[in-house]
Chain A
Amino acid sequence: MKKIDKHIEEQVEKTLGAFDGIERARPKPFLYTRLQARLESKDEHSLQTRILSPVLQRLAVIMIMLVIVFNIYTATRFFISPAATDSLSNSEQLFVEEYYPSTPTLYNISQLTINP
């Protein structure tokens, strides 16, 4: 039993000394060239993002503005008071008549109040 313990101890000590006489590992040749290429590509990438992101930001703002302007335009064009319909063209008047009728239809007859 003691013999086995001693053998294990020896193995442990030998293993702990496995790094004795170790030499430094060296990188593959031309590290500087590879590093330079990487630095250049990083510069290029950051330059692209620096240029592209403001362009994309501006495009997004323009798109949002266009959507808002379109909404305002359609709202003012079609959702107007009946008094203003006189100034509309025939087709526009037909459109207003169809969607905003001045006389009650079967769909909204239930909402009417009947005077006794």
Chain B
Amino acid sequence: MINLKVKVNDVMGNTDHILVEELKNGDEGAFRQLVDDYQDKVFNTCISFVKNADDADDLTQEVFIEVFKSINKFRSDAKLSTWIYRITVNKSLEYLRKMKRKKRSAIFNWISKEDQESKLQVPDFDHPGVLAENREKARILFDAIEKLPEKQKIAFTLHKLEDLSYEQIAEIMQKSLSSIESLMHRAKNNLQKELYDYYNS
């Protein structure tokens, strides 16, 4: 079983290696294949962070443009998926920070009050992949995740919404496995407290 897993990883690694080489040579077919292979993963990660389908679509495109532009900086010993996930998380967080800054500056600008209300208020978000019977609870959970510290939010989102293992998250966040375990533990505790307060009020 373990041997089979190693072999699958080897094949995946080789495929990635070939794909990266083709991308570095400017092969358009390789870029198309990369987009086909990763678009769902990138979009799902983006939408889980930014909670808006249009913005997530926009960010997904930006991620692939970044991949296209900086593929020559990609180290061959690294994992392509890890690198793409890292770009995706960084782009999403960058977007969220930008929106926060806009919101803060809009507070002092009464002229743009209407614009602020229409653009920056995060509406109740329905993730398209959530089961219908869980929709209401998922909305409450998304609101609670929003209140987590940034690193806990990243770890929890990647694990629960993108179904990544702690090892993969550790590679993406460039942290040790034990620190990811600790982040997840704290995230769950904080969410429990937050939800308890929500239902108790």
Q: Which residues of A contact B (CB under 8 A)?
A: 8-9, 11-12, 14-28, 31-32, 34-35, 38-39, 42
Report chain A residues within 8 Å CB of B47. Answer: 25
| A16 and B141 in contact, given A31-B61, A35-B61, A35-B64 (Cβ under 8 angstroms) | yes
Among candidates B61, B131, B162, residue contacting A38 with C-beta atoms closer than 8 Å: B61
Q: Flag whether B40 is at the interface (Cβ < 8 A).
A: yes
What sequence of 0s and 1s flags, for each residue 152-171 of chain B, a beta carbon within 8 Å of any chain A beta carbon? 00000000111000000000
Categorize the interface residue count of chain B: 35 or more
Which one of B35, B39, B192 lies within 8 Å of A16 (CB-CB)? B192
Residues of B within 8 A of A (CB): 32, 35-36, 39-41, 43-44, 47-48, 53, 56-57, 60-61, 64-65, 68, 127-131, 134, 137-138, 140-141, 144, 160-162, 188, 191-192, 195-196, 199-200
Inter-chain contacts of B199 with A (CB < 8 A)? 8, 11-12
**In the complex, A18→B40 CA distance in Å?**
21
Residues of B near A23 (CB, < 8 A) are 129
- Residues of B with C-beta under 8 A to A35: 35, 61, 64-65
Q: Give CA–CA (A71, B131) in the complex, Å.
A: 77
Judging by beta carbons under 8 Å apart, are A20 and B43 in contact? no
A12 touches B138 (CB 8 A): no
A42 vs B64: C-alpha distance when bound (angstroms):
13
Q: A16-B192, A19-B138, A27-B57 are in contact. List 20 more A-B contacts (CB 8 A).
A: A12-B199, A14-B137, A15-B144, A17-B137, A18-B130, A21-B131, A23-B129, A24-B44, A25-B40, A25-B43, A25-B128, A26-B43, A26-B44, A27-B39, A28-B57, A31-B61, A32-B35, A35-B65, A39-B65, A42-B65
Partner of B141, one of A9, A19, A26: A19
Contact partners of A27 in chain B: CB under 8 A: 39-40, 43, 56-57, 60
By the criterion CB–CB under 8 Å, are A8 and B191 in contact? no
- Select which of A25, A28, A38 is within 8 A of B65 by beta carbon: A38
- In the assembly, what is the distance between CA of A32 and CA of B33, in Å? 10
Closest residue on chain B to residue A21 by CB atoms: B131
Give every chain A residue within 8 A of B64 (Cβ-Cβ). Answer: 35
Please determine whether A31 and B60 come into contact, CB atoms closer than 8 angstroms: yes
